[in-house]
Amino acid sequence: MRIAIGNDRNGIQYKLKLMEHLEAQGHQVFDCGTNENFPADYPIYGERVGRLVADGTCDRGIVICATGIGICSAANKVKGIRAGLAYTDDVARLMRAHNDANVIAFGQDFMTYEDVQKRTDIFLITKFGGGYHQTRIQQISDIEEGKPITQTPMMNTDNKHVRGQ
């Protein structure tokens, strides 16, 4: 798999370790981040990752900053990107299975490296579930295109998210 990874100075340490881990697994990794330990604008690196994923150069993306939120927000501004902050293992899986996320975000200051590595692996192996989730993905695409969206008919009035599913 081709993976773009970007970071500001707050994500250098995890990025370097994660790149080594991913390359050892046989992935081709594109370094879109900084390696300089001085203030850098995280939107630049989030956008770089987003554009490489959106144009098909890379299959998936990883973004890292102090909290994960800023760089995730920047990546999400690129049309076609669905990025999410993987704050638990279940979220890393569900963002792929339900949301067809193509970029995963981490906050180096608030997550252990071991959790980041595990959640990255989960994100990379999980397939999109399709089905009724595809309707929501299409709605997101329609928002990007400026098209109106409407509520879809409920398939099941008892349809509630069950944790871990």
Catalytic site includes residue 98:
yes
- Strands (E) located in 32-87: 60-65, 83-85
Catalytic site includes residue 65:
yes
Longest dimension (CA), the chain: 53
Query: Which one is catalytic: 32, 58, 72, 98?
Result: 98
What is the distance between the alpha carbons of residues 122 and 91, in angstroms, rounded to a whole number?
10
Mind telling me the catalytic residues?
Answer: 65, 98
